[in-house]
Structure 1
């Protein structure tokens, strides 16, 4: 992300107001610096020249006022930076959540990467708005103002500043490129550490059962040490770059001071003008030096914001040109896939799939593991980016498609509460009879509706959790009278007796006139299907 990325201004309107306030504060700061330098040089010259007490009192008052104004401007920058960073982070989080809501399956990074960027990453925008941007705006507003004032007071000093001042940004650009590379590697180390820790926590119970929890200590320790080393590299670059900027600015100010000193000795320059220019020269380079110094403090926030902006600006999955709600599918087709292809990281998982599922039809998707069967369901649901056209009951928009179907994925996602609350999830009022019917149709009558469960179905076996998720899909199908049911390996963890009952339920749904698409490799499901569509794994050469 550039120091002022247009995408940031586009998605975070608060940033525009912050910049407007910053420009005003920078203008006040420039005037306060001029007043500070002029009053101080007048006070010194007056003391040397024996000026009256009244004159000295006036310049002392101006000097004190300039100091107070500069302090108030610094406080204003800090307050505006805190408020601006919080407002922008909130707007970017909201925009990122909306983007994920439009296309939950977009591959903008892993869940951990997204969580780190949208969470703590955006919190790191405080140094960016509180320290970096104030100096950047001050550089744009204050530096030209002071250079003009120096040129008016002493054209030769102004010329020296104009010549040497661009050298500092050149050093800043070179240092910035190095810093960006180092910071990105540190960010990758942080996300990797977060991912490893999350995976460890998620599988901790399994590791404890098998007595292997302590074997993960070495991996976590190694990742932590790697992140520590990378952090120290960032700090080393920060200190070295700050030294380079300070050296360049000091040498530039020294050129001005030597020129003024020689001319004062020669009598070719008035003492008041020389003192005024000497007071302003360090102030000219101060904002530029601070931009480089504060860039490192804001690097983490910039990196996180760049990742979040990439997530927000990622294109949504292709949509049909048909208006929402307009039925363009032929005959009684409920699900219509036309030339659907799915890729992951540039590698095809599904290529050019054409599939039509009609009302009253039970269709099974078969094929070897890894052939892309679950990816097809993800594309239908709008959770996986795809090419081609997908219509559900004539709807092409992903959100509209999900509103016309019920589904259960291969991995059951259950929430803390009762079984009945999970089955009726999404419905304002749960009919107890409808819940019991859904559980019975899903061959889950061994699970009581009032049974309490924990996160991820804690308290149920794996097979019971899967069947409760299927019961939820059946409850949604009947409660909203939907035409399409999608199931992914519904009998994978089911005994033959319950599998037979579930197959009977699917056949009954087809007889009711609903369309049912099931991903399965179980012979009982494939034999009961009206059609079996086999998907072969895509062969990758090389």
Structure 2
């Protein structure tokens, strides 16, 4: 990632305001630095000349004011950087989450969920160091350093020339060290991603591993990956300390060169003390922004690496053109018209035609691998397709998603209470509606206050499945969705519980909702108004 990636301005509008405010504060800080050097110079020179304290009181008062102003400006710069960084990180994270939704499962298929979580979580948090430490110094380098060089050159041309010749040495060292640091940081980020993926896989498979007594075998793997990450982190730290030493040495030698030249000219009488002292006080300040950029670069590299990964996702999402809202094919239910879904040049579904009218309970039944889940994903706008799909009078993907309440084959439960999982996405959940949804999903025995772990840990497969159905039913009522789609909702249920859930679905369909259930179960097929297949569409008399 470049020091300031243009995509940061594109995806986080607050960056422009942060840069502008930082430039103004840096300009004021530069003026305060020049004023401080001038006041100190005048105090020393006039003091040596024998001026009395009353004669110097105005200069002392001005110096106190400048010192206070520098402190206030320093606090203001840090506060603005921290606040601006928080706003920018919030905007980027929101854009990233929106990009996940726009890309959908198909667009994210080649990316690890652990990597995406790492980028959106810790990666975005790591940008705080970029905005709080690195970016202010980058602005100071672009604003303060040229102004100070001009002031020094205006006062003493020789010192100005020495600065112009020596200042480029620091960026050269920064580039050389930066290449090595960037490569080490990428390896560290890759090690962290590997650790995250490995740990997530172990946690996901822990019940199976425990069942077969193999859980301890993973300890060595986690320990090895953790040690690799620790080792790479220490390498980055070593480079950070080494580069800091190199930059400090280069800056110190450059300032010393200026000081020697000024000292020799002062002894020779070719330079006035006021000019020499003024230049000596400003010379370290001219090098300071570059030194700070080098020192802060290492604090920002992790965030910059994460931002580069985030921009790849955002760029991919930007290529997904939004669909226009189009009226449905004359029906407010669920309509498929000549729908074809292709994966890697192969048709998963070809020319599918079906209509689930309001008040209809339809069951989609076909052999495994015949494209049932692909049709559901296409209806939700998660996979590309040809043909037309309409839900609730809308053909655009966002409109269809707004019209559909859906539960997939995997419950996808989050750590928290059952009530929080059922009302997921509702800013003001209704306790009565949560309980009603659980009862309708044949899960009335589950308490909404019961706490479950990630992926429904603590619940049986059937219970987790019914909580997911309850979430769909809660959304159905809370948002008045005209379409309900359930993918294998009874595969883990016993006959009695399945009968109860089928009765609920029958009542929901009779209330005017278009209900589509993907299932092979005989109880659902027997209760269906229409039996759909990726090959054949047939009506079933009730």
1:215-254 alignment, distance < 5 Å: 215-254=217-256
TM-score normalised by the chain length of structure 1: 0.79
Q: Structure 1 residues 12 and 481 mapped into 2: Cα distance closer, same or farther (>3 Å)?
A: closer
What secondary structure does 1:411 align onto? Answer: coil
Tell me if the contact between 2:487 and 2:518 (Cα under 8 Å) persists in the aligned partners.
Answer: yes
Q: Structure 1 residues 464 and 149 mapped into 2: Cα distance closer, same or farther (>3 Å)?
A: closer
- 1:410 and 2:412 are equivalent in the alignment: no
1:92-241 alignment, distance < 5 Å: 92-105=92-105, 106-107=107-108, 109-241=111-243
What secondary structure does 1:3 align onto? Answer: coil
What secondary structure does 1:341 align onto? Answer: strand
1:447-458 alignment, distance < 5 Å: 448-449=444-445, 454-455=451-452, 456=455
Q: Structure 1 residues 224 and 84 mapped into 2: Cα distance closer, same or farther (>3 Å)?
A: same
Tell me if the contact between 1:406 and 1:473 (Cα under 8 Å) persists in the aligned partners.
Answer: yes
Tell me if the contact between 1:419 and 1:468 (Cα under 8 Å) persists in the aligned partners.
Answer: no
What secondary structure does 2:336 align onto? Answer: strand
Name 2:539's counterpart in structure 1.
Answer: none
**What displacement does 1:58 show?**
4.2
What secondary structure does 1:315 align onto? Answer: helix
Name 1:42's counterpart in structure 2.
Answer: 42
Find 2:384's aligned residue among 383, 386, 390.
Answer: 386
Rounded to whole Å, the distance in 2 between the matches of 1:230 and 1:515 is 56
Q: Structure 1 residues 163 and 431 mapped into 2: Cα distance closer, same or farther (>3 Å)?
A: closer
Name 1:340's counterpart in structure 2.
Answer: 341
Name 2:82's counterpart in structure 1.
Answer: 82
Name 1:357's counterpart in structure 2.
Answer: 354
Tell me if the contact between 1:487 and 1:519 (Cα under 8 Å) persists in the aligned partners.
Answer: yes
Post-superposition CA distance 1:481-500 (Å, at most 9, x none): 87755443455445689889
Tell me if the contact between 1:424 and 1:430 (Cα under 8 Å) persists in the aligned partners.
Answer: no
Name 2:460's counterpart in structure 1.
Answer: 461
Tell me if the contact between 2:438 and 2:444 (Cα under 8 Å) persists in the aligned partners.
Answer: no
Name 1:67's counterpart in structure 2.
Answer: 67
Rounded to whole Å, the distance in 2 between the matches of 1:315 and 1:387 is 17
Rounded to whole Å, the distance in 2 between the matches of 1:381 and 1:194 is 29
Q: Structure 1 residues 396 and 169 mapped into 2: Cα distance closer, same or farther (>3 Å)?
A: farther
Rounded to whole Å, the distance in 2 between the matches of 1:277 and 1:123 is 41
Rounded to whole Å, the distance in 2 between the matches of 1:420 and 1:269 is 76
Rounded to whole Å, the distance in 1 between the matches of 2:103 and 2:470 is 26
Find 1:278's aligned residue among 261, 277, 280.
Answer: 280
Rounded to whole Å, the distance in 2 between the matches of 1:163 and 1:425 is 60
What secondary structure does 1:533 align onto? Answer: coil
Rounded to whole Å, the distance in 2 between the matches of 1:171 and 1:327 is 63
Rounded to whole Å, the distance in 2 between the matches of 1:175 and 1:481 is 59
**What displacement does 1:148 show?**
1.1
Number of residue pairs aligned between Structure 1 and Structure 2: 520
Name 1:25's counterpart in structure 2.
Answer: 25
Tell me if the contact between 1:477 and 1:485 (Cα under 8 Å) persists in the aligned partners.
Answer: yes
Post-superposition CA distance 1:243-280 (Å, at most 9, x none): 23223323333333343334334433323322222222
Rounded to whole Å, the distance in 2 between the matches of 1:431 and 1:28 is 57
Rounded to whole Å, the distance in 1 between the matches of 2:478 and 2:24 is 59
TM-score normalised by the chain length of structure 2: 0.79
Rounded to whole Å, the distance in 1 between the matches of 2:93 and 2:135 is 20
**What displacement does 1:501 show?**
9.7
Post-superposition CA distance 1:36-87 (Å, at most 9, x none): 2222233333344334444444444444443333333222222223322333
What secondary structure does 1:357 align onto? Answer: strand
**What displacement does 1:355 show?**
1.9
Name 1:539's counterpart in structure 2.
Answer: none
Q: Structure 1 residues 44 and 425 mapped into 2: Cα distance closer, same or farther (>3 Å)?
A: closer
CA RMSD of aligned residues (A): 4.3
**What displacement does 1:241 show?**
1.9
Q: Structure 1 residues 39 and 464 mapped into 2: Cα distance closer, same or farther (>3 Å)?
A: closer
Rounded to whole Å, the distance in 2 between the matches of 1:432 and 1:128 is 46
Tell me if the contact between 2:335 and 2:355 (Cα under 8 Å) persists in the aligned partners.
Answer: yes
**What displacement does 1:220 show?**
1.8
Tell me if the contact between 1:334 and 1:484 (Cα under 8 Å) persists in the aligned partners.
Answer: no
Tell me if the contact between 1:357 and 1:517 (Cα under 8 Å) persists in the aligned partners.
Answer: no
Tell me if the contact between 1:39 and 1:59 (Cα under 8 Å) persists in the aligned partners.
Answer: yes
**What displacement does 1:321 show?**
5.3
Tell me if the contact between 1:358 and 1:515 (Cα under 8 Å) persists in the aligned partners.
Answer: no
Bigger Cα displacement from structure 2, 187-196 vs 151-160 = 187-196
1:448-527 alignment, distance < 5 Å: 448-449=444-445, 454-455=451-452, 456=455, 461-466=460-465, 469-470=468-469, 486-490=485-489, 492-493=491-492
- 1:5 and 2:5 are equivalent in the alignment: yes
What secondary structure does 2:534 align onto? Answer: strand
Question: Structure 2: any 5+ residue segments left out of the alignment?
Answer: 536-542
Bigger Cα displacement from structure 2, 156-165 vs 203-212 = 203-212
Rounded to whole Å, the distance in 1 between the matches of 2:24 and 2:312 is 31
What secondary structure does 2:317 align onto? Answer: coil
Question: Structure 1: any 5+ residue segments left out of the alignment?
Answer: 535-542
